Amino acid sequence: MRIFIVEDNTSHLKLMQAKVTSLGYQVVGTSQTIHGTLPAIQKTQPAVVLVDINIQGENDGIQLAKSIKENTDAAVLFVTSQSESKVISEAVAVEPDGYLVKPVEPADLKANIELALFKNAQKAQNIKSSNEPEIKFGEEFLTVRTGEKLQVLQFKDIKFIKVDTKNYVTLMDVNNRPFVIRDSLKHVINAILPDSFIRTHHSYGVNIDYILFIDERDQIVHLKTDDTVPIGKSFKKDVYEKMNIKS
């Protein structure tokens, strides 16, 4: 685990380094001033930054912590001897991932570091989830949410669908634009797309309206758009029945 320490008191800095190291963490950098600290943190990319609020006699550690949280993915823990309510309020407003009061006990340090890592991981997951594509659908279309864009996709414009990664389905439209949604192929075909779509393979489904012919020797569906989709052995019967093929 990579830790960066910001502490202007030399003896306190050495003591904190020793405590961090004794807990099995790696100190990847230290700083005793505000200047140049953020670039150093961005370069070393620690998982956690321990910040003394009272840097060089001022409460500049609060502003530094704010900059760290805004410009890096590191969790921030305040380490301080400050007990004034005003200072504490200002520190809390920055939303640190922990608050340690000197002298810091190793057990408290470890607990706060692990908790900060957990909270940061949860936060990152929530951000990731909020950016994942979501879908809304109507009778003839679905709307794919990707980031801040809402893209309306007509069912008739989807030529085939496929699975590249587990639980993520890619919808390919007639302009070869991929639209990725988080779902299973089975659910997309059975519950979202209309009856004109059929599953041909464990990883593929196709819009029947785009089928040009089926190569029975290689068991491949050829589409009018020059695309090909495989037919799996366990799906052949369903495909033939859906297309009213008698064999």
CATH number for 13? 3.40.50.2300
Asked whether residue 154 falls in the same domain as residue 220, the answer is yes
Q: Are residues 234 and 189 in the same domain?
A: yes
Long-range residue pairs from 29-34, CB within 8 A, at least 24 positions apart, any chain: 29/4, 29/5, 30/4, 30/5, 30/6, 31/4, 31/5, 31/6, 32/6, 32/7, 32/8, 33/8, 34/60, 34/61, 34/63, 34/64
Give the model confidence (pLDDT) of 68-118 as tens digits: 988 888 999 998 886 666 777 788 888 888 888 888 999 999 999 988 887
Note whether 123 and 31 are same-domain residues. yes
pLDDT value of position 123: 64
Residues 82 and 47 in one domain: yes
Phi, psi of 45 (to 5 degrees): 50, 60
Per-residue model confidence (pLDDT) at position 99: 87
Indicate whether 89 and 49 sit together in one domain: yes
- Residue 179, in any domain of the structure: yes
Report the alpha-carbon distance of residue 102 to residue 19 in Å, rounded.
13
Q: Answer whether residue 247 is part of any domain.
A: no
Region of residue 244 (left: phi > 0; alpha: psi -120 to 50; beta: else) = left
Question: 208 in a domain, yes or no?
Answer: yes
- Do 79 and 177 share a structural domain? no
Which of 88, 112, 129 marks a domain boundary?
129
Is 212 contained in some domain? yes
Pick the last residue of a domain from 108, 129, 150. Answer: 129
pLDDT at residue 124, rounded to an integer: 56
* Domain coverage including residue 172: 134-242
Question: Is 36 within a domain?
Answer: yes
Query: How many domains does the chain fold into?
Result: 2
Residues 230, 121, single domain; the answer is: no
Is 9 among the domain residues? yes
Q: Which residues pair with 146 in a beta bridge?
A: 149
Same domain, 72 and 177: no
Q: What is the pLDDT of residue 50?
A: 95
* Domain co-membership, 120 together with 166: no
Inside any domain, residue 205: yes
- As a whole number of angstroms, the distance between CA 82 and CA 37 comes to 21
Residue that is last in its domain, among 129, 155, 176: 129
- The answer on 76 and 185 residing in a single domain is no
Residue 12: its pLDDT value, please? Answer: 93
Residue 27: which of 9, 8, 40, 11 has the closest Cα? 40
pLDDT tens series, the chain, 247 aa: 899 999 999 999 999 999 999 999 999 999 998 888 999 999 999 999 999 988 765 657 888 998 998 888 899 999 888 666 677 778 888 888 888 888 899 999 999 998 888 777 766 555 444 444 454 545 688 888 766 778 888 999 999 999 987 788 999 999 998 888 888 899 899 888 998 999 999 999 999 999 999 999 999 999 999 999 999 998 999 899 888 876 5
In a domain, 223, yes or no: yes
Looking at the structure, tell me whether residues 11 and 121 fall in a common domain.
yes
Cβ atoms of 219 and 201 within 8 Å: the answer is no
- Asked if residue 223 and residue 110 are part of one domain, the reply reads no
Q: What pLDDT shows up at residue 246?
A: 67
CATH of the domain at 138: 2.40.50.1020
DSSP symbol at 105: P
